[in-house]
Structure 1
Amino acid sequence: MITATTTLAAGYASVPPGHIATIVTSVEMVRPPSPRPERPVPPGLVLRPLADRNPDPYRSLYRTVGAEWLWFSRLALADDALAAILADEAVEILALRQANRTLGMLELDFRQPGSCELVFLGLTGDRIGTGLGGRLMNEALRRAWSRPIERFWLHTCTLDHPGALAFYRRFGFEPFATHVEVAPDPRLTGLLPRGCAPHVPLLG
């Protein structure tokens, strides 16, 4: 769960050099939505639990899917902290693959009783707009609501695809909170290559 440490006053605020700022929108649903239609499954497409849940294979999957959108939170975790998450049976991690190529990932966190967080849902850039995102979301909804939960939630931010928030709302999520996150730019700290996410200015 996101916890705000301060409340911003109205007006502009400077971002420290070498940092990035993003607006984070948290969304939720408190009952299963009506099913949405899916496109036919492309040949050879498989969505399977991550076979090796050690930090290095996980980070490889995470980078492949998320580098374009500056996903960095898992990369910044120490090995022992990340290993503890990956070893928890209440965390589901699935990789979407076709012909041995990674196309996307899905991560669900059931560690909070009565709740499920959609921690990550993403596709590689060349698969966005193909209908695979909807297939991943339908799978996330099935898995989440098959458990005894009362709430399914996630957060998205302005570093994500411009259509991300509208995508989540189409599936029945509604916004409930907004935060601003400021963090060191992962392209400057070495967590991600400097050429990632050219849509986000690199100021350092």
Structure 2
Amino acid sequence: MAIAHDPGTAPLGQGFHAIAPGDLAAVVTALEMREMPAALRRPGIEPDVPLQLERWTDCAPERYRLLYKRVGAPWLWWSRLALDDAALMAIIHDPAVELYAVTDRARIEIGMLELDFRTPGACEIAFFGFVPKATGHGFGRWLMRRALQRAWTGAVEKVWVHTCTLDGPGAVAFYVRQGFVPHSRFVEVFRDPRAAGLLGADLGALHPLIVD
């Protein structure tokens, strides 16, 4: 799941818009839910999933980046890789940010979940995903249930998430099935993380690296 900046209020006009060499553009869809899903309000039979959530409360920057890249590099996640240690720790060590690793029975980290409560009354599912070998097994539904159970706490009135066209093609449909409603769309243009040296040039085959 990519993270987008404030899109502002000026819409793009129709037609083609050139992207500079070394840059990328993504169409970002913002989704939200305004009340806890009914399924979370009633007890149910939990699926037998061989996974656990491990809260990381004092995670070193190197450890965070390693998991972030294992999960997000195939989708060109980059925003946290552009931060220095101080800026990264200011976010992930903030008491209003909850960071979890998803581990398997061997205690190997195969996914991540990051919840951001820094905006009063809201929770952003900032990062949500699995390493490639753990996808396609239905684990996403399990993790989303855990995410929403933790997100809908206290005075939260809205849970929201962004996804974009660099993510998996089923991302929007997955979020909608979980109860999120798409409410806006915008275009984000940014320096290609491969051109910036944040990720390897061999990643993101569906989005060719174009430079001068």
Shorter-chain-normalised TM-score: which range?
over 0.9
Select the residue among 19, 43, 46 that pairs with 2:23: 19
State yes or no: 1:158 paired with 2:165: yes
Q: 1:4 aligns with which of 7, 22, 35?
A: 7
The answer to whether the 8 Å contact 2:58/2:93 transfers is no
Query: Which of 164-173 and 78-87 deviates more?
Result: 78-87
Q: Which moved more, 1:93-102 or 1:178-187?
A: 93-102
Query: 1:54, 1:86 within 8 Å by CA — same for their partners in 2?
Result: no
Distance 1:14 1:122 in 2: 31
5+ residue gaps, structure 2, are: none
- Aligned to 1:58, the other structure's residue is in SS state helix
User: Which residue number in structure 2 is paired with residue 179 of structure 1?
Assistant: 186
TM-score relative to the length of structure 2? 0.90
1:51-200 matches, within 5 Å, as: 52-98=58-104, 99-200=106-207
CA contact (8 A) 1:49 1:95 kept: yes
CA distance in 2: counterparts of 1:68 and 1:176, whole angstroms: 26
Q: CA deviation at 1:136?
A: 0.7
Asked if 2 retains the 8 angstrom alpha-carbon contact of 1:38 and 1:134, the reply is no
* 2:16 alignment partner AA: Y
- CA distance 1:101–1:196, change in 2 (3 Å): farther
* Superposed displacement of residue 22, structure 1: 0.4
For the 8 Å contact 2:57–2:93, the answer to whether it is kept is no
1:4 Cα deviation after fit: 2.0
Distance 2:146 2:168 in 1: 20
Alignment root-mean-square deviation, CA: 1.6
Cα shift at 1:38: 5.2
TM-score, normalised relative to structure 1? 0.93
Distance between the aligned counterparts of 2:5 and 2:177, measured in 1? Answer: 23
SS for the counterpart of 1:188 is: coil
SS of the aligned residue for 2:141 comes to: helix
Counterpart Cα distance in 1 of 2:183 and 2:5: 12
> SS of the counterpart of 2:166?
coil
The residue that corresponds to 1:33 in the other structure is: 37
